Amino acid sequence: MSQTASSPTLKVLVYSDDVNTRSQVVLALGPRPHPDLPKVEYVEVATEPMVIEHMDGGSIDLAILDGEAVPAGGMGIARQLKDEIYNCPPVLVLTGRVEDAWLATWSRAEAAVPHPIDPLRLADVVVRLLRARAGVAAG
């Protein structure tokens, strides 16, 4: 879990080449997806090199990767992260359709949520992943 001077925060990386997709994710989750969790700080990125740079930095608690992003899709990036980063944080992939969830499994992502983004479904999955990362019991 990332630490700031005043209180703990969780850092969530949101990757998509589409600014609207990134905005939808951030708006769906808000600054605190659940009262049991610390505040969330979002790191929005639009390119694969920036995803790698932030993930290599070790301060990210959850990565949300758009599987429909171009030229580098989130599923391929997820698989690369899982191959290359020891103790990689959880990864959630946004898939093009519900039927693409099996591809997220191939990518080694811990979870998948389909487009169009359902804010309630996204929040449920993100809260589950962040609770595990932050060591917060479900309540």
Write down the H helix ranges in the chain. 19-29, 48-57, 74-84, 101-106, 119-134
Measure the CA–CA gap between 53 and 47, rounded to whole angstroms.
Answer: 10
Q: Alpha-carbon Rg of the chain, whole angstroms?
A: 14
Residue 33 near residue 123 (C-beta atoms within 8 A): yes
> Which percentage of the chain shows pLDDT scores above 90?
82
β-strands 2-3, 8-15 pairing:
antiparallel
The per-residue pLDDT for range 15-65, each reduced to its tens digit, is 999 999 999 999 999 999 999 999 999 999 999 999 999 999 999 999 999
Residue 12 near residue 62 (C-beta atoms within 8 A): yes
CATH class (in words) of the domain with range 2-134: alpha beta
Is the pLDDT reported for residue 98 higher than 90? no
Measure the CA–CA gap between 103 and 126, rounded to whole angstroms.
Answer: 19
| pTM attached to this predicted model | 0.92
Is the pLDDT reported for residue 70 higher than 90? yes
